[in-house]
């Protein structure tokens, strides 16, 4: 596999379509590299000129006698294929294609892009683009890009790198990063991703020792396995991936055949995949920059217990509220520590947030004393200090910094973010000593939450579910499946489906009501009907033979009125099950990430409540429990308001078994759904079963 250094630090570059006009797409990268003094060989390719921007030009790649590592292509799409064929002859390692007019326009453009893909695959030539804005390596002054941001903001090397599918937005991320003073070492845009993708770029950046943080932007992912492998590689290297994924449309929503398919929208699945593989998803550029900036000290708290110290009671409340929104713990100081704080400042609030009040103006030694008590006795994983504009005062800024440095002696592994308003000069002074500074208290909390997320992921080993695939592998009957078929298949996979009986004649019902006081449910059985209640195909609480016979006839009549041509395989009868919590348990094959398991509150309100969680299948028992406890309504399972707790062990087993089942049969099954599945104190049982074949 090619390394990032081979792409980003070539010994030579040929620019095909090089222009003497520095403002043109073919002229701008050449101008950048001349101005920034790129040390490698530069070979402009332009058959109409002897020189380009003062450098000798060549009619074609084949006219260059020297070896060529990197080929930049800035010619019309119809010429690109012949250029790449010459690049292969020259044994180039990388080709970057600015040109548009490929898969983004469809038709002939798609045909041309497929030819590029074949050339890359057959020859080993790595291709970036087409339809991309290029890349740069600021440490080597290598700028094969036509972004105009380089003219206004020459990059400075640093430990942060950017991978972006979008060129324009990638430029935006770079520009605002530069304005924030962040050093960006590598910047790569991937465009149509005929070969190199954002995922592979992340993996290459994670392997580079000069990169400590990765910002990434994508609209879609083509290869889910490659993408998750890249995120895992970054996590194993303890390198944060700060990810912006846009586009919230559901995959195949128009063709969704079950609640599971319509609920498992693309965005929800991306949310889970990113989180599970240690990437932090941001919703804005500002949040992305705040998090990237706050990674600079390279400290990632392993826990989520946050200490807040403030000179403003109001500021402390704002931070405490934001911490609650982020799921962080703002634990109180121990009683003995509170007593010590009270002795230092009798009118301070020593709980947490710890309010040192304006008294600290008179005695800055309070800062290290309070901080030491918070870290030594409070057991906090990290601290945020709210100093407002006081920290920007020429009189107080340096003494405050000195006090904070003293406070953190012996606690160098603890992160301390300052919330303060100050000039760039003072901010840089604090940053140099390892104190990130953010103006807004809520933004400071969100940034801290992200770093705590990374700390958790970097220090946690994921338990894999190495299940026996053969135990769950099935052979499907060569017909459309009705509910009886689905139930029997899922029962064979040790799933808690209520075993049904099919009735084909009204006369068969009499056996169920001899000396039997149970209540029954009757449902239509048809491979053509997924949602039976929508067609009047369900009757509940049947407790006598006459009602059963009438219900049988009523179901047949209702279904035929709604769907005159539907084939009815029979009427199903089974004992009524009541009580418990109605849930939904389902699985589907995501087109990008493969088998996905879904669990949440269900019944007829599944798509209304949408208290649903997802995970890549198969899942471990620990992951299944995590899914249950991540629901907003999780307390219902634990025994809320004096109710007894539900049977979580059976529920976890059901989630694990269905995840194993879909993972073992992902080649023949598209969707599985059990809705509702009743979760009770002493049992878990599914009342309905649906399997949709591929």
Q: What is the pLDDT of residue 278?
A: 97
Do 345 and 269 belong to one domain?
Answer: no
Do 96 and 211 belong to one domain?
Answer: yes
Q: Is 469 a domain residue?
A: no
Confidence of residue 517 (pLDDT cuts 50, 70, 90): confident
Backbone dihedral region of 352: left (phi > 0), alpha (psi from -120 to 50 degrees) or beta? left
Do 53 and 67 belong to one domain?
Answer: yes
Q: Is 483 a domain residue?
A: no
Least confident of 15-24, 209-218, 333-342, 439-448: 333-342
Q: Is 481 a domain residue?
A: no
Q: Is 133 a domain residue?
A: yes
pLDDT digits (tens, 9 = 90+) for 377-386: 898 999 999 9
CA dist., res. 256 & res. 259, Å (int): 8
Q: Is 257 a residue whose pLDDT tops 60?
A: no
DSSP lists the bridge partners of residue 97 as: 73
User: Of 423, 458, 493, which residue is a domain's last?
Assistant: 458
Do 138 and 281 belong to one domain?
Answer: yes
Q: Is 466 a residue whose pLDDT tops 60?
A: yes
For the segment 20-36, the average pLDDT, to the nearest whole number, is: 96
Return the HEC string of 258-310: CHHHHHCCHHHHHHHHHHHCCEEECCCHHHHHHHHHHCCCCCCCCCCEEEEEE
Do 235 and 359 belong to one domain?
Answer: no
User: Of 424, 458, 492, which residue is a domain's last?
Assistant: 458
pTM comes to 0.91
Q: What is the pLDDT of residue 530?
A: 81
- Please, what's the largest Cα pairwise distance for the chain? 103
Number of folded domains that form the chain: 4
Q: Angle CA(272)–CA(275)–CA(278) in degrees, nearest 5?
A: 145
CA dist., res. 575 & res. 535, Å (int): 21
Phi, psi of 522 (to 5 degrees): -125, 135
Do 609 and 663 belong to one domain?
Answer: yes
User: Of 431, 458, 485, which residue is a domain's last?
Assistant: 458
Q: What is the pLDDT of residue 259?
A: 45
Q: What is the pLDDT of residue 360?
A: 66
CA dist., res. 640 & res. 637, Å (int): 7
Residue 669 domain boundaries: 581-693
Q: What is the pLDDT of residue 458?
A: 96
Q: What is the pLDDT of residue 501?
A: 87
Pick the closest to residue 296 from 352, 410, 212, 174 (CA basis): 212
Q: What is the pLDDT of residue 356?
A: 82
Q: Is 496 a domain residue?
A: no
Please enumerate in sequence order all residues whose Cβ is within 8 A of that of 158, keeping only pairs 6 or more positions apart, or say none. 182, 183, 184, 185
Cα dist from 596 to 106, 600, 619, 668, whole Å: 30, 14, 9, 15
Do 277 and 338 belong to one domain?
Answer: no
Tell me the CATH number at 434: 3.40.50.261
pLDDT digits (tens, 9 = 90+) for 309-349: 998 889 999 999 999 999 999 999 999 989 988 888 887 78
Q: What is the pLDDT of residue 607?
A: 63
Do 234 and 314 belong to one domain?
Answer: no
pLDDT digits (tens, 9 = 90+) for 555-605: 999 999 999 999 999 999 988 888 888 999 999 999 999 999 999 998 665
Q: What is the pLDDT of residue 209?
A: 95
Do 645 and 565 belong to one domain?
Answer: no
Tell me the CATH number at 156: 3.40.50.720
Q: What is the pLDDT of residue 262?
A: 43
Q: Is 543 a domain residue?
A: yes
Do 549 and 601 belong to one domain?
Answer: no
Helix (H) or strand (E) holding 135: strand 135-137
CA dist., res. 106 & res. 98, Å (int): 17
Confidence of residue 254 (pLDDT cuts 50, 70, 90): very low
For a pLDDT cut of 70, what percent of the chain falls above it?
Answer: 96
Please enumerate in sequence order all residues whose Cβ is within 8 A of that of 172, keeping only pairs 6 or more positions apart, or say none. 285
Do 531 and 648 belong to one domain?
Answer: no
Do 372 and 519 belong to one domain?
Answer: no
Phi, psi of 470 (to 5 degrees): -60, -30
Please enumerate in sequence order all residues whose Cβ is within 8 A of that of 363, keeping only pairs 6 or more positions apart, or say none. none
Q: Are 671 and 585 in contact (CB under 8 A)?
A: no
């Amino acid at each position: 596999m090619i390394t990032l250094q081979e792409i980003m630090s070539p010994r030579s570059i040929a620019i095909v379509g090089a222009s003497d006009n520095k403002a043109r797409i073919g002229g701008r990268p050449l101008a950048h590299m001349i101005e920034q003094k790129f040390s490698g060989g530069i070979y402009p390719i332009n058959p109409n000129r002897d020189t380009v921007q003062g450098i000798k030009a060549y009619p074609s790649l084949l006219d260059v006698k020297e070896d060529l590592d990197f080929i930049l292509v800035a010619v019309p799409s119809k010429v690109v294929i012949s250029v790449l064929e010459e690049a292969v002859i020259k044994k180039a390692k990388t080709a970057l294609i600015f040109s548009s007019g490929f898969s983004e326009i469809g038709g002939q453009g798609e045909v041309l892009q497929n030819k590029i893909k074949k050339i890359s695959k057959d020859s080993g030539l790595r291709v970036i683009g087409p339809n991309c804005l290029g890349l740069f390596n600021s440490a080597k002054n290598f700028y094969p890009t036509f972004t105009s941001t380089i003219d206004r903001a020459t990059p400075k090397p640093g430990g942060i790198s950017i991978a972006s599918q979008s060129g324009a937005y990638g430029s935006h991320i770079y520009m605002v990063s530069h304005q924030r003073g962040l050093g960006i070492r590598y910047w790569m845009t991937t465009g149509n991703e005929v070969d190199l993708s954002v995922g592979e770029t992340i993996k290459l950046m994670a392997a580079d020792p000069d990169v400590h943080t990765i910002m990434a932007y994508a609209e879609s992912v083509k290869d889910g396995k490659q993408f998750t492998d890249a995120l895992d590689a970054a996590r194993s290297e303890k390198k944060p991936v700060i990810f912006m994924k846009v586009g919230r449309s559901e995959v195949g929503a128009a063709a969704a055949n079950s609640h599971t398919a319509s609920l498992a929208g693309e965005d929800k699945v991306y949310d889970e995949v990113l989180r599970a593989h240690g990437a932090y998803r941001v919703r804005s550029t500002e949040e992305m920059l705040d998090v990237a900036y706050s990674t600079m000290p390279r400290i990632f708290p392993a826990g989520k217990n946050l200490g807040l110290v403030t000179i403003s009671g109001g500021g402390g409340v704002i931070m405490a509220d934001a911490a609650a929104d982020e799921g962080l713990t703002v634990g109180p100081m121990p009683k003995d520590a509170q007593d010590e704080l009270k002795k230092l400042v009798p009118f301070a609030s020593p709980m947490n947030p710890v309010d040192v009040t304006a008294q600290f103006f008179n005695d800055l030694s309070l800062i290290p004393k309070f901080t030491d008590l918070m870290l030594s006795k409070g057991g906090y994983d990290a601290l945020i200090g709210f100093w407002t504009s006081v920290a920007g005062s020429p009189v107080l800024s340096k003494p405050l910094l000195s006090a904070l440095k003293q406070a953190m002696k012996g606690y160098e592994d603890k992160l301390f973010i300052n919330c303060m308003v100050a000039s760039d000069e003072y901010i840089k002074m604090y940053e140099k000593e390892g104190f990130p500074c953010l103006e807004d208290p809520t933004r400071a909390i969100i940034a801290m939450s992200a770093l705590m997320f990374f700390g958790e992921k970097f220090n946690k080993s994921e338990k894999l579910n190495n299940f026996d695939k053969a135990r769950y592998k099935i052979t499907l009957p060569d017909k459309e499946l009705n509910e009886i078929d689905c139930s029997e298949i899922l029962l064979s996979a040790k799933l808690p489906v209520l075993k049904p009986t099919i009735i084909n004649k009204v006369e068969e019902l009499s056996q169920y009501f001899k000396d039997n006081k149970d209540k029954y449910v009757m449902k239509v059985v048809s491979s053509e009907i997924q949602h039976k209640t929508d067609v009047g195909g369900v009757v509940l609480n049947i407790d006598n033979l006459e009602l059963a016979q009438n219900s049988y006839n009523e179901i047949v009549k209702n279904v035929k009125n709604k769907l005159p041509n539907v084939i009815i395989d029979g009427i199903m009868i089974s004992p009524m099950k009541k009580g418990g919590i109605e849930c939904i348990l389902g699985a589907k094959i995501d087109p990008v990430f493969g088998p996905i398991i879904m669990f949440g509150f269900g019944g007829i309100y599944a798509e209304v409540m949408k208290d649903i969680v997802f995970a890549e299948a198969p899942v471990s028992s620990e992951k299944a429990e995590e899914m249950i406890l991540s629901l907003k309504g999780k307390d219902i399972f634990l025994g809320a308001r004096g109710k007894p707790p539900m049977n979580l062990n059976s529920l976890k087993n059901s989630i694990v078994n269905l995840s194993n089942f879909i993972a073992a049969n992902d080649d023949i099954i598209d969707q599985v759904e059990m809705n509702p599945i009743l979760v009770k104190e002493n049992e878990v049982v599914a009342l309905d079963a649906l399997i949709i074949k591929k």
